Structure 1
Amino acid sequence: MGKEFEIVREFEVGASPEQVWDAITTGTAGWLWPTEYEPREGGSASGLGIVTAWDPPHRLTSRVEDPDGIQGVPQTLNVLDNLIEPREGGGAWVRYVHSGIFTADWDDQYDGANRHTDFYLHTLRQYLAHFTGRQAVHSDVQGPEASMIRGSFEAVGRALGLGGAAEGDTVKVDLPGTGPVDAVLDYRNEHFIGLRTGDAMYRFFGRDAWGGPVGIALHRFGPDASASREKAEEQWRTWLTGLYA
């Protein structure tokens, strides 16, 4: 039997409501993963659900229902609601609500979704502040089965050479296929790491805490990002495999 959940976040950004709207509708590869919305109420939401509110640039709501679970998650209902309002003096105020029904391991599922929400919305704000309007190439790379062991994520910080670096610090990191570069450590806690360079954001996920593998999302904005996508994915996959060999 399922149990309802609701995750609510509110925040302000310097971007305009139109820029926020573009980021959550057509620019998702730059901070989340590629999604497509048919621009009308009742339209398709990434082929998984339907758009239940389409009011640019103020409100986007989508709804997905599946009694067998949604994309591998024991969940029968998933609703995403984005409310965007202009802020006096410029910028925008955003209210994000993720709700639905989890059908198994409710506490674990909620904890994971809650913590991922903070990381994803932080990455959205980074995109709006540093890359808004730029097209991105998104890649998702998953670690091997060995990275599913709880506590595995600590190895990522060590391999990146982050030491005691804190959020906001500029660090020198040796990235696969890129070599040593200066990057801003824009997010860091026991489950997630975010690095930002002049033409990319690298997001590291410690999903071992919830029974999944360590993963990496690449959001690359450089002119050669599309042509080098497969090579970059293979280089990062090799890096993860070697880390947990």
Structure 2
Amino acid sequence: MSKEFEIVYEFEVDATPEQVWDAITSGTGGWLWPMEFDGEKRVGPFGSTLTNFDPPHRLTALTEDVGFPTQSLNQIDETIEPRDDGRRAWVRYVHSGIFTDDWDNQYDGARKHNAFYLHTLREYVVHFAGRPVAFATLNGPDASTAADAFGVVGRALGLADDIEQGARVRARGPEGQLLDAVLDFRDPYFIGLRTDSTLIRFFGRNHWGAPVGISVHDFAPDADAKTNELAWQNWLDGTFA
């Protein structure tokens, strides 16, 4: 049965409204994935219509034909206001729409994913705003859909259960490489690692019946998206071999 949903988050961040706006609309893949916004034609990502496009204050993207079997309508609305004479920004993020099936599971996944995405946005604008990025995303094998799959990922990274968010860690990456990183996010569903040049995000989508996923946002001058994709794909496939 179809049912509307609404997810609301509000936060402040140590970045200007212009930096937050650019992060949301530049489409580089610096914190989420590459997306295109055309303010003049009022066209946004995935065929959405920009019903509000007022830089750097208000953005609303409405998609009426989502193309998913469990969703028929999707809208993202973001309001950005200055704080501390424009040195900081306050953001109100509203994700709404209609789920047509599996409502509780879809809502739970969307709510938790949005929280992690917005955390990554804050990490990006504070540490990497405006830097060129090489973006890669990948999914694990079928075995990574198992109920305990995300726990396997944490152990493969060498993260003990008692390591808390905010700690500096030496995580095990591809080919045994040790990554000197900050564990910038950790809960049962997601892990975020931040090095001096990358944001590496791990998605426990097995909790919602999908494979574990990884995205790599690499800001190093010599970064290569394909190299990162292949390296982390081999790591993830080997973890579940």
For Structure 1 versus Structure 2, the TM-score category normalised by the shorter chain is: over 0.9
How many residues were matched structurally? 239
RMSD: 1.4
TM-score normalised by structure 2 residue count? 0.95
Q: Do the aligned residues in 1 keep the contact of 2:200 with 2:214 (CA within 8 Å)?
A: yes
Q: Do the aligned residues in 1 keep the contact of 2:156 with 2:172 (CA within 8 Å)?
A: no
Take 2:179 and 2:46, find their aligned partners in 1: how far apart are those partners? Answer: 38
Residue 151 of structure 2 corresponds to residue 151 of structure 1: no
Q: 2:226 aligns with which of 226, 230, 235?
A: 230
Q: 2:121 aligns with which of 121, 124, 136?
A: 124
Deviation at 1:177, TM superposition (A): 6.0
Change in Cα spacing, 1:28 to 1:94, as seen in structure 2 (3 Å) is: farther
Deviation at 1:36, TM superposition (A): 0.4
Structure 2 match to 1:22: 22
Structure 2 match to 1:82: 78
Q: Which runs of 5+ in 2 are unaligned?
A: none
Take 2:2 and 2:236, find their aligned partners in 1: how far apart are those partners? Answer: 35
Deviation at 1:88, TM superposition (A): 3.2
Change in Cα spacing, 1:73 to 1:117, as seen in structure 2 (3 Å) is: farther
Matches within 5 A, 1:7-18: 7-18=7-18
Take 1:210 and 1:173, find their aligned partners in 2: how far apart are those partners? Answer: 26
Change in Cα spacing, 1:27 to 1:199, as seen in structure 2 (3 Å) is: farther
Take 1:93 and 1:178, find their aligned partners in 2: how far apart are those partners? Answer: 40
Other structure's SS at 1:167 match: coil
Take 2:219 and 2:176, find their aligned partners in 1: how far apart are those partners? Answer: 14
Q: 1:188-210 deviations in whole A, cap 9, x for unaligned? A: 01110000000000000000000
Q: 1:145-192 deviations in whole A, cap 9, x for unaligned? A: 111112211001100001121111000122226821310000001110
Deviation at 1:43, TM superposition (A): 1.8
Take 2:175 and 2:127, find their aligned partners in 1: how far apart are those partners? Answer: 23
* Matched AA of 1:102: F
Q: Do the aligned residues in 2 keep the contact of 1:177 with 1:232 (CA within 8 Å)?
A: no
Q: Do the aligned residues in 1 keep the contact of 2:171 with 2:180 (CA within 8 Å)?
A: yes
Structure 2 match to 1:48: 47
Take 2:83 and 2:199, find their aligned partners in 1: how far apart are those partners? Answer: 27
Change in Cα spacing, 1:31 to 1:47, as seen in structure 2 (3 Å) is: same
% identity of equivalent residues: 54
Q: Pick which of 122-131 and 228-237 moved more.
A: 228-237
* Matched AA of 1:234: L
Matches within 5 A, 1:95-106: 95-106=92-103
TM-score normalised by structure 1 residue count? 0.93
Other structure's SS at 2:232 match: helix
Structure 1 match to 2:138: 141
Q: 2:191 aligns with which of 190, 193, 199?
A: 193
Take 1:84 and 1:125, find their aligned partners in 2: how far apart are those partners? Answer: 13
Other structure's SS at 2:188 match: coil
Q: Do the aligned residues in 1 keep the contact of 2:27 with 2:37 (CA within 8 Å)?
A: no
Take 1:170 and 1:49, find their aligned partners in 2: how far apart are those partners? Answer: 40
* Matched AA of 2:145: M
Structure 2 match to 1:243: 239
Structure 2 match to 1:168: 166
Structure 1 match to 2:33: 33
**Runs of 4+, deviation exceeding 4 Å:** none
Q: Pick which of 138-147 and 172-181 moved more.
A: 172-181
